[in-house]
Amino acid sequence: MEHVAVTGMGVVSPLGSSIDAFWRGLMNGTSAIGPMHNRERVSGNGFWAAVPDDFVGGAQLPAGALRNTDRFTQYAMVAASAALAQASLDPPAERTAVIVGNTMGGFPLVAETQSRYLDGGGHVVTPKLMALVIPNMANALIAMHWKLHGPSLAISTACASSLDAIGLASGMIERGTIDAAIAGGSETLLSPIVYESLVRAGALSRNPDPARASRPFDLDRDGFVMGDGAAILVLERAERAAQRGATILARIRGYGSLADAYHITSPDPSGEYEVRAMRAALDDAGAAAQRSVVYAHATGTIVGDAAEARAIDALYAEQPPIVTSIKGHLGHSMASSGAMCAIAAIVGMHESRVPPTIGTQRIDPAARFDLVMSQAREHAYSSFQVNAFGFGGQNASLVVTR
């Protein structure tokens, strides 16, 4: 890819709902992992990383939008608003795509409504329930709010969703189908039902110390920690962005996405198809890619981290890269995690710094790369690779440059 520019970024995260707060938390090694509500009723350690309770979409959204949106849509709209403001873009109505990834839409609201229904009957069920919770409402409400008539798509490829959204949007810009896109992911799966299911599946960490519950690439890792939030990028055709005097923050250079077709929850332990996705992104980027920093998916699961470590080591065998993971700060925000990593990496590229991997104390010796530990590292880099791998064998990777 040669023609896709990033001109705006917005985030709603457990570390804060601004790029500055998000980045400051990453640099300071701040963990947002803490006790969930009603933790006495669930198995496991009862930890997750939630967007703070004082998040109020209404501070940035009109009352009508607030009444007709679920929390995952509000996250996406607030992040999109911030991204468009940074881009100083009035998006072209017919030539702008809105592509937002998520996993289960507004499932927590469905679960809460079911509980109230069993207690109180049908009158507690809003007639807007389906319209509030279906996965396409994040992209639909963004399109409605900004009066956009280009492609409006919801992507659901599990934890790879936001990278797939960015990759798909970038391809459309590269082909000339559209001039701009609002792309990323939004997630609000912090439901006790989802939590309990993942505990019973053995996917979540049971470590009783919140500072050690999420341990990417740690020898003693035992599962991930749930998180939520949204991350949205504004993408434009680079020539158009330059013509209007926009600040180009980065360029999307390469994208790879494929299925390992192995298991519904576990990745192929060989890492073969993660290597293929990463190589596809690097091949797409061509000479623009300089193999310097990898922002790993690395959620802290036993099999998942091992497969990714094998993939990174195999692909970068001749020159082991600097690697980091931000899951120790934020938990795993699933569909939005890839875009959150991309935003962190773009800011880090401009500041010549790489966030630390926190929570990890003993690096798995099978990982032969240079993992940034404990504190942020000064490092100048002009390109990076972001990985996102998900249930169902979804493998996505993105290469981005200055």
What one-letter code names the amino acid at 19?
I
| Percent over 90 (pLDDT), the chain | 86
Q: What is the mean pLDDT of the chain?
A: 94
Q: How confident is the model at residue 41 (pLDDT cuts 50, 70, 90)?
A: confident
Of 144, 124, 132, the C-alpha closest to 106 is 132
What would the pLDDT profile of 13-33 be if each residue is shown by its tens digit? 999 999 999 999 999 999 999
Query: For residues 129 and 70, what is the distance between their CA atoms, to the nearest angstrom?
Result: 9
pLDDT digits (tens, 9 = 90+) for 221-252: 999 999 999 999 999 999 999 999 999 999 99
Using pLDDT thresholds of 50, 70 and 90, give the confidence band for residue 116: confident
pLDDT at residue 54 tops 80: no
CATH number reported for the structural domain that contains residue 341 in this entry? 3.40.47.10
- pLDDT category of residue 193 using cuts at 50, 70 and 90: very high
Residue 122: band (very low, low, confident or very high) from pLDDT cuts 50, 70, 90: confident
Paired strand residues for 332: 226
pLDDT digits (tens, 9 = 90+) for 127-163: 999 999 999 999 999 999 999 999 999 999 999 999 9
* Phi and psi at residue 251, to the nearest 5°: -130, 135
CA-based torsion, 366, 328, 77, 10: positive or negative: negative
Per the CB < 8 A criterion, the answer to whether 168 and 1 are in contact is no
330: left (phi over 0), alpha (psi -120 to 50) or beta: alpha
**Residues paired with residue 183 on neighbouring β-strands, in sequence order:** 99, 233
Beta-carbon count within 10 A of 223 CB? 24
pLDDT digits (tens, 9 = 90+) for 315-351: 998 889 999 999 999 999 999 999 999 999 999 999 9
Percent with pLDDT over 70 in the chain: 98
* Domain count of the fold of the chain: 1
**DSSP-assigned states of every residue in 317-381:** TTSPPEEE--HHHH-B-GGGHHHHHHHHHHHHHHHTEE--B-S--SB-TT--SEE-BSS-EE---
DSSP type of residue 105: T
pLDDT band at 59 (very low <50, low <70, confident <90, very high): low
- Label residue 290 by pLDDT band (50, 70, 90): confident
Range(s) of the domain holding residue 395: 4-401
pLDDT at site 120:
74
Given a cut of 60, is residue 58 above it in pLDDT? no
* The two three-digit tokens of residue 154, written as one number: 């919801």
What's the CA gap between 179 and 93, in Å, rounded? Answer: 10
Residue for token pair 């912090």: 190
Distance CA 251, CA 361 (A): 34
Q: Cα Rg for the chain, rounded, in angstroms?
A: 20
Please tell me the predicted confidence (pLDDT) of residue 194: 95
DSSP codes joined into one string, 32-87: --EEPTTGGGSSTT-EEB---TT--GGGTS-HHHHHT--HHHHHHHHHHHHHHHHH
Asked if the model's pLDDT at residue 1 lies above 70, the reply is yes
Other CB atoms within a 10 A radius of the CB of residue 55 amount to 18
Residues 263-285 pLDDT 10s: 999 999 999 999 999 999 999 99
Tens of pLDDT along 91-105? 999 999 999 999 999
Task: Give the mean pLDDT of 299-310.
Answer: 97
| Residues identified as active-site | 159, 297, 332
